[in-house]
Homo-oligomer: A and B are copies of this chain.
Amino acid sequence: MEWENQEMQQAEEYLQYQIRNGLREKVMTDVQVEELRKQIVVYAAISEQLVELHKSMSAHHDFTGMRLGNLYCDSVTASIGHKITARQRWTPTPFQLQILENIYEQGTGTPGKQKIKEIASELAQHGQISETNVYNWFQNRRARSKRKLQASMAASATGEAESRTEDVVAKDKKTKPAGSDFADNIANRVESFYFQNSNAGIDQLIGKVESSRGYDSYTNLAEQYGLLG
């Protein structure tokens, strides 16, 4: 079947007419689709990562009210801003600390599993505590007293060129916090993003984003690529 030139012309006019009057929906050409395609490709790939994040975070984090010690923490105090962190940690009361220190000073080394139970139950009378807390406390206490000792020994050896030591310290100061900032930044950002959309699944997120700023984003993006002119 062949079409006369005049017929094509007429059909084209008709098509444009339909579009103008909403009788036919506006269309995108393959070229445009191709551009969108590229965008989606990239977005999809990147987004998969955060979706994965979301999943793993959801799996490991339940939002049932957390309580530890005497602190109640409403975990989902997620404001739109930042600082949504909900993790709480045990803090020994002065009394508990005193007892722990005493036991530690007694030099009975590391309390065994059984000993820990004893200590924990005793301390429990003076505040919320778990055996793990006791265990951790001794671990840290030992490790840190040892580190202090090392540090003091290193300090006593300051007889030599401290310029060298200075360099070491300087570099240490530089490298370590850098890494920490770095990681902190990541964690904070992602955490923030996650908690901002905490209870929402990815699907709900769709609606949320859409209603808030999504369409503007989309428009900008599309225009940038000359789509949807």
Contact = CB atoms under 8 A, between A and B. Distances in A.
**What is the interface residue range for chain A against chain B?**
35 or more
A43 B49 contact: no
A179 B66 CA distance: 11
A52 B48 CA distance: 16
A46 B40 contact: no
Identify which of A56, A64, A158, A202 gathers the most chain B CB atoms within 10 Å of its CB.
A56
Identify which of A172, A175, A193, A215 gathers the most chain B CB atoms within 10 Å of its CB.
A175
20 contacts: A11-B14, A11-B15, A25-B31, A28-B32, A41-B217, A42-B202, A46-B47, A48-B217, A53-B186, A61-B178, A61-B182, A64-B171, A74-B175, A77-B172, A77-B175, A87-B183, A88-B175, A128-B165, A128-B168, A186-B191
Nearest to A131: B151
Interface of A: 1, 3, 7-8, 10-11, 14-15, 17, 25-33, 36-53, 56-57, 60-62, 64-68, 74, 76-77, 80-82, 84, 87-88, 94, 98, 113, 117, 120-121, 124, 128, 130-132, 150-151, 154-155, 158, 164-165, 167-169, 171-172, 174-176, 178-179, 181-183, 185-187, 189-191, 193-194, 202, 205-206, 209-210, 213-215, 217-218, 221-222, 228
